[in-house]
A and B are shown apart, each in its own frame.
Chain A
């Protein structure tokens, strides 16, 4: 991390403002009406799109660090694909994450 202590505090303060603004936006009395249906439909895609934009590079294009250099298979890719497969079968997030992590740890330590 290259950010200084002060800039981390600034980041936390700004993030707090952003998340609160999103939550409070339509609860102010200044807003005359709610969101239109097309805007609601559009916003409903934010979660899957933004979360995928973050997990896809970790799984499919991981930066192989020194500690994983010696491994013959890439633990991020293999455990990632396993986790995706698992989440197609079950809906239980706890099970998916626990099993995915177990696969990752297993692949990094016992190879």
Chain B
């Protein structure tokens, strides 16, 4: 729409733009709907393992990180130590370092309250939406990012509340296999994204080390598995880069021959 693209380039971040807000919310709706089951799962699982409703909701209100919340609930259920919960939270949310590094140049001139608010709602989904919007309009819009981020925050917390209500009303919800639901969720997040051999190696090595640690009762298996998986994948990436260059030259030669 030309109406939003023709807005002045140097606009104060405090100026509220109704159209941008509307677009940010509607753009976020599909991803928002997709996250409802995870929110319900987080809320009901928290109740099931013994958190009180306030704690279950506080987790979504303040931690606001689906995978990290599910993982910590999984550890809490197995009476994991506080150290293991913090380490898993740090490792799982480390990808947000990447996101904040990417949007850094676009937001570092903004006042502190803007940067704090944007950081608070920086999720996989908000990052994806903000970058898609940037690709379309050729500029990073903090209004768009903030509003889509908070729209997602709202949906996440309402669905957590729904899960808490379900969890308190239906006992033995875990018999429906909530632990398996976590596994299925993580499989759905990981497996379709295995698009190159380094990622495949990250997954394979991490799985094997995690299973070996469980078999031989080695402590901190999850962290050990994650670390070895990442290192193996990184080595594989460097190796494939070196080989890729050679293969690249070969394939262009082959292409010439075919012609």
Contact = CB atoms under 8 A, between A and B. Distances in A.
Contacts of B116: 24, 27
Given A23-B99, A97-B37, A105 B226 contact: no
A24 B188 contact: no
B26 interface: no
A41 B119 CA distance: 22
Interface in A48-90: 48-61, 67, 75-76, 79-80, 83-84, 87-88, 90
Nearest to A89: B192
Residues of B contacting A: mostly? helix
Residues of A contacting B: mostly? helix
A104 B71 CA distance: 20
Interface in B85-123: 85-86, 88-105, 107-108, 115-116, 118-120, 122
A94 B50 CA distance: 27
Residue among B82, B102, B226 with most chain A CB within 10 A:
B226
A100 B187 contact: yes
A56 B63 contact: no
Contact of A75 (B68, B101, B180): B180
Contacts of A16: 62-63
A80 B99 CA distance: 31
Interface stretch (B9-17, B204-212, B245-253): B204-212
Interface of A: 1-3, 5, 7-16, 18-20, 22-29, 31, 34-35, 40-61, 67, 75-76, 79-80, 83-84, 87-88, 90-91, 93-94, 96-97, 100-101, 104-105, 108
Interface of B: 34, 37, 49-52, 55, 58-59, 62-65, 67-69, 71-72, 74, 76-77, 79, 82, 85-86, 88-105, 107-108, 115-116, 118-120, 122, 175-177, 179-194, 198-199, 202-203, 205-207, 209-211, 214-215, 221-223, 225-227, 229-230, 233-234, 237
